Each structure stands twice: as C-alpha cells, then as structure tokens.
Amino acid sequence: MEIKLYMKRFSLVLFALAVTAWFAGCQGGGNSNNATVAEFGSQKVTLSEFSDAFSKNTGSSKSTDSLDAQKNFLGLYVNYRMKLADAYEKGYDKDEALMNELLDYKKKIGITYILEKNLVEPNVKRLWELRKFEYRVSHIMLRPDSTGEAGAKTKAQAILDSILKFNKPFEEMAKKYSQDNFSAKNGGDVYYFTPLMIRAPEFEEAFVNTPVGSVNPQVVKTQFGYHIIKVTEKRERIPQIRCSHIMLSMQDDSGKVDSVNARLRADSVYQKVLAGEDFAELAKKYSQDHSNKENGGDLNFFERRMMVQEFDEAAFSLKINEVSKIVKTTYGFHIIKQTDRKKYPSFEEDKENLKTNYKLFRYTGDYDTLTANIRNKYVYKINATNLGLFLKAGDSVKIGPDLLKAPWYEALKSVPLFTIGSRSVSVDSFVTYAMNTAEFNGRVIEPKMMETGLKKFSDEVVVEYAALQLDKENPEFKNLMEDYKSGIFIFKLQEDEVWNKIQLDSARLVQHYENTKTKYVWPDRVEYGEIYTSSDSLSKVYYDMLMKGEDFDTVAAKYTERPNYKEKAGRFELADVNTTTLSAEANKLQNIGDISKPFAYGGGYSIFKLYKKDASRGKTFEEAKAEVSGSFQELEAKRLEEAYINSLKVKYQPKMHYDALPKEAQK
C-alpha cells in the first residue's frame, strides 16, 4: 500500500506540474487571451491559462487540436482547479506539516537551482567555448624558497616589471630566472595548452585572457609557484588525430647507439614512401616499434601532449593522408602519416564529460567566488565579540558530546556567531554542524580550526539563505515552487478524500473476489529439478548415474553448476511452462518422476526430473488475495474520486464556455 501511495503521489505532483498555468505565450487562435473558458464558484479560467496548461501537458504549442481533445482537457483542468480551491478552503496553506515540507523542498531545490544555474551550467558552457582553441604559452616560474611566499612573489613582480616597464626580452628573462628547468632553456616555452589540460585553473584563466604576443600584466600564483605568462600563439584546436608511423631505432642489433645508420635507414624507407609504396606494409616490414608495427604502425587517436613534443608538433601540423618528413625524437627517427581526425564535439556531446572535469578541477574555486558574491549581496557579518568569547571559553576543548555539557557552553550556545541578511546563526548551530562533520568532529577549538570550519559552515548557510530568497527574485523558480505546492496539496486531498477512506475488510474483499474471480487464473505450471553442467561428457556421466539408480536430488546437490541451485538440489518451484525454455522442456516429461536425457541449451547441458504438473485453473481467494486487494483498491479509489469530484461540482457549480476555445479547434 505504501509503495502505491508513493507512486500516486509522484504522479499527482507531475500532473500538477503539467497542468498548472505556465505563461508561455500560447495564443488562442484569434480569441482574446483574457476570454473566460470556464468558471466555478467565484473563480474564472482564462483562455491564456487553459492554453498554457494544455500546451504544457500535451507538448503542443499549436491550437489546432480537435475540439473534443480540448473539451476533455478543459474538464480535467477545471477539476484540478476546483481541487486546489478546496485545498485552500480546507486551510492546507496553513498546515504546518505541509508548509514545512514545502520549505524543505524550497531549500533543497533552491540550492540545486543556484549551483546548477549560476555555477555549473554557465561555467561548463564557457569551458566548451574556450576549448575550441589551443594556446601556445611560455612562462617564467619561481618557487618559494628561504624567503617564503612573499619573497617569491616580490621577485616575480620585479621580473615582470622589468619585462613590461623596461622592455627586457621575455625569453632572455626566462632563461636567466625561471625555475622550470624543462622550459627555461627554450625561453620559457611550455608548448600548447587547452583549458582542463593542466589542472591549474589560475594558470589557464591567465593564458586565455592574454592577447597573443602579450605578457599577462599580473603575477599568477598556482600550486606550483608564481608565474609570469606570455601567449605566443592561439589557434583552432583539433581535439584528436589518428596517425600511423614507421620508427627506426637509434640502436643497432647489438644495442649500440648508431644515429648515423638509423638516419640512413630512415631515409631509405622514406624514399619508398615518396615513391608511393603502401605505408602500412612498409611499417610492418621496417618499423621497429613492435607495439604497433603489425597494425601497419597505427597509433589510434591521441590528443595534444600525449606524444613527445617533436612527434606531436609534426603530427598535428599534417593534413589527413599527408606524410611528414623524417622526425627525430629520443626514441628514434619517425615517418608519420595522419590518417584521420575528430571534429570538435557539439556542446550536447561533450557536456557530461566537461561537467565531470569541471567538478573535479574548477568547481571549488568557482564555488568560493559564488559564496563570496552571496555574502556581499545579502551582507554577511561575523560577530567578532561572540567568536572571541567562544574561542576563549573553549580553548583546547574538543568538539564533541562533552562540549555540550560544559557550563560555559550553556551560556554561549544561543549567542549569534554570524548573520546573513535577516538570519542570525548561533554558536550551537555551528557546533552541531562541526559534530556531524568528520573533518571537525573531535578537533580542538582553536583559531585555525574555527577559521576553516566557519568558512565551510557559513558557505552552506549563505547558499541556503540565497535559495530561500529565490522565489522573491526569480519568476521561473517562483513558478516551480507554486507548481510543487499545488502538487502536495493535490496529494493531500487524494489522501484525505480517497485513499484513507478505502476500507480493506475481509468481507468486501471476498465479495470482490467472487465478482471478479475469472480474472485470477494460474497458467499451466511445472515443478522440476535440474542438473546442469557445461560439459557434454559430464552430462552423459550424470545421466548414466541416474539410470543406474542414483538419487536425483543427491546428484544435483553435488554436481549441478547452475549458480545458487546446489543448495536447492537443483529444484525449481512451480513456474509457468512458457516462462523459460527450461520449464517448457521439463514440461515435455509425461509422468511424475520421469528423467530426461541431457538437453543442450545456453552453452551447457541440462537433465530434468519432473516433480509436479499443475494444469491451468482459477486461483483460490488466498492465492489471489494480493491481486484482489490491488484490484479492489483501484476500483474503490475510482469510485471515491468520482464521488469527490461530484461533491466539488455541487459546491462550485462549474460552467464551461466551449465557444471561447481556440477557433481552429472548432472547425
């Protein structure tokens, strides 16, 4: 019963969302949108309300549906509106339990709405736009040393000033000062980057906002150190390419490095490529990359920076079916052919992948920005005096149950720790949060813990506060909340007027069974045992054992390979003979106790024993009781629903004005 009620509730809430007026601007085929299509009690239903609800429910924005379809929906919609009117007359909008449910929903959905609409969706879309391009970047990096963070930043700023103010060449400064040993010798060049490639959002934001040929005017701090960033190129990105290659190793057969001979061998093969010989066959014959030579040198698809730079740069500069000149890397000499490339994916194709990576690597920083903006908007203030009192009184005390028993805590627990807008948050609220958070439960109360804990706790509080203001500021969210409120009111009405009035007494169930007993029928059923094995030879061995008098249950319990059936001695309870191939095959046995020969099925072999056959027959009341109960509830719910609707019609005297429906529907 509880599951059915839940599903009914879910369906009714969805129905409310579907038919509640959602002003989408559907025009009424020449009729005024303010025309009245129905009225009940003191309320009127306008054409605009009806058209919007009809459009939302049917998914159609046209007014050309048949008049019968629109009349039918108008009847349903008026019934729905009368129910809502009745709900308000019954005081549901003042029902504490319903209003608390609505408030809880408002918080949860509001928080999700803010995080998705203001954080995830716009930033994921922005990343998709940014990742259409790749940027060639150079940098000068300084790590904190004995002078600490401040010293490293001061030194980086001095280098940046010398570049921007005194025109010192970036490349020379990189060679002289950069502590990135891999790029310093190349004038700071760190090759091509695309956002989400290096997991350093600050660095990525800096290079995407720096014009080509320019140096970013700010020193940029990341987890790796302090950076001065220059962008040397920006171009459309090719997400992935597919290449084949022929590699000639630097080493000879003895393992000795012989680059001269390797180059000569590469030249020889390259001439064969230029002469038009098949690239894949040449790779199979000459390539010394044994991981792919048998596949004609195919490397499959790869992205930027997945190969060594020399190889990567040559491969990405090719066109499809174009062959590179000989490329030297630390692995040897390569001849590369680009065979395919992927187009940049549409936003819908890439959205989930981008969302996953965004949440992993960029969400936290953007969340901090969002919460900072909310704090500013609604005015967040820490009560420094009360925070100081809490730190002093709780010095060296651990967050936990014992804290709640301290006399000083009783005096301080209700004082405000901070405010956001009109909401004041107490010491006790923070302590409750800390006790229920693994990161802080059991921690000693001290300034650093309070700084971190208060930041995380207040982040949640300010987002929740913003969520509770959404319906005052956002029409879309306000409509969503009105829809949900209508849904829970309709559900409450159905509980009060229909479901809670259904009486499941035995006498009525038996009478319902007698009236509908032809609906409850068992099909032909069979009960059987099975010995299953994947081996043909073993199936014959088991069959011989049975023919020599071995007990079927004993053999099945010992040898059947059907998962979870050894402990059942291979027995299958009564089942519809048409449910599975196994039951159909077992049903072919004629007499109780008959044993079949091995039957090949599903990659193995089965031997069956017939235990029982039960021919199709009507179910007894006890056998059909669950079905009878469900059928009775459904019938009673329909009867009570009709009675309730009729009572509303008597109460509100609804009138339909079909002539005011869209003109097209009346043709």
Lowest mean pLDDT among 4-13, 279-288, 515-524, 599-608: 4-13
Do 373 and 269 belong together in one domain?
no
Virtual torsion, Cα 17, 19, 20, 25, nearest 10 deg: 110
Lowest mean pLDDT among 27-41, 496-510, 574-588: 27-41
10: confidence class by pLDDT, cuts 50, 70, 90: very low
Do 285 and 322 belong together in one domain?
yes
Does 660 fall in a domain?
no
Does 601 fall in a domain?
yes
**86 pLDDT higher than 80:** yes
Burial of 496 (0-12, 13-18, 19+ CB in 10 A): middle
How far is Cα 178 from Cα 607, in angstroms, rounded to an integer? Answer: 77
- pLDDT mean over 568-591: 95
Q: If you compute the radius of gyration of the chain from its CA atoms, what whole number of angstroms results?
A: 38
Does 637 fall in a domain?
no
**543 pLDDT higher than 90:** yes
Q: Which of 595, 618, 641 is the last residue of a domain?
A: 618
Do 247 and 231 belong together in one domain?
no
H or E, element range at 515: helix 506-516
- pLDDT mean over 303-332: 96
Do 125 and 138 belong together in one domain?
no
Long-range contacts of 470-475 (CB under 8 A, 24+ apart): 470/106, 470/110, 470/113, 470/114, 471/106, 471/110
Do 81 and 111 belong together in one domain?
no
Q: Which of 495, 530, 546 is the last residue of a domain?
A: 495
Q: For the whole model, what pTM was predicted?
A: 0.74
Does 359 fall in a domain?
no
- pLDDT mean over 636-642: 96
User: For tokens 């609804």, what's the residue?
Assistant: 654
Secondary-structure breakdown of the chain: helix, strand, coil percentages, each rounded to the nearest 5: 55, 20, 30
pLDDT reported for residue 14 = 41
Amino acid present at 387: L
Does 461 fall in a domain?
yes
**548 pLDDT higher than 70:** yes
For 433, half-sphere exposure in the C-beta direction (CA atoms, 13 angstrom radius) is: 17
Do 461 and 560 belong together in one domain?
no
- Average pLDDT of every residue of the chain: 92
Question: For residue 612, what are the β-bridge partners?
Answer: 527
Q: Helix 279-286 and helix 259-274: axis angle, to 10°? A: 150
**pLDDT tens figures, 418-475:** 999 999 999 999 999 999 999 999 999 999 999 999 999 999 999 999 999 999 999 9
- Domain range for 88 is 2-96
pLDDT reported for residue 34 = 84
**15 pLDDT higher than 60:** no
Which percentage of the chain shows pLDDT scores above 90? 88
pLDDT reported for residue 22 = 30
pLDDT reported for residue 292 = 96
Lowest mean pLDDT among 10-14, 145-149, 260-264, 509-513: 10-14
Do 377 and 473 belong together in one domain?
yes
Does 122 fall in a domain?
yes
Do 270 and 161 belong together in one domain?
no
How far is Cα 183 from Cα 173, in angstroms, rounded to an integer? Answer: 12
Buried b (16+ CB within 10 A) or exposed e, 513-534: beeeeeebebeebbbbbbbbbe
**2 pLDDT higher than 60:** no
pLDDT reported for residue 662 = 80
**pLDDT tens figures, 31-83:** 566 899 999 999 999 999 998 888 888 765 555 568 888 999 999 999 999 99
Do 377 and 487 belong together in one domain?
yes
Do 545 and 614 belong together in one domain?
yes
pLDDT reported for residue 125 = 97
pLDDT reported for residue 388 = 96
- pLDDT mean over 544-556: 96
Long-range contacts of 432-439 (CB under 8 A, 24+ apart): 433/457, 433/460, 434/399, 435/399, 435/400, 435/401
145: confidence class by pLDDT, cuts 50, 70, 90: confident
Q: Which of 46, 70, 96 is the last residue of a domain?
A: 96
Instruction: Count the domains in the chain.
Output: 5
pLDDT reported for residue 286 = 96
Residue of higher predicted confidence among 666 and 554: 554
First to last CA, the chain: 46
Residue 467: partners with Cβ closer than 8 Å, 6 or more residues away: 106, 107, 109, 110, 111, 113, 114
Does 405 fall in a domain?
yes
Question: For residue 528, what are the β-bridge partners?
Answer: 572, 610
Task: Single out the residue of 386, 242, 267 nearest to residue 322, CA to CA.
Answer: 242
Which of 11-25, 64-78, 296-310 is the most confident on average?
296-310
Does 640 fall in a domain?
no
**20 pLDDT higher than 60:** no
**602 pLDDT higher than 90:** no
664: confidence class by pLDDT, cuts 50, 70, 90: low
Local structure of 550: helix, strand or coil? coil
pLDDT reported for residue 31 = 54
How far is Cα 255 from Cα 122, in angstroms, rounded to an integer? Answer: 56
**pLDDT tens figures, 180-198:** 999 999 999 999 999 999 9
pLDDT reported for residue 21 = 33
pLDDT reported for residue 29 = 42
Taking a C-beta distance cutoff of 8 angstroms, is the pair 36, 44 a contact? Answer: yes
Do 380 and 463 belong together in one domain?
yes
Do 303 and 390 belong together in one domain?
no
17: confidence class by pLDDT, cuts 50, 70, 90: very low
Task: Single out the residue of 337, 317, 330 nearest to residue 262, CA to CA.
Answer: 330
CATH number where 562 lies: 3.10.50.40
Max CA pair span of the chain: 104
**8 pLDDT higher than 50:** no
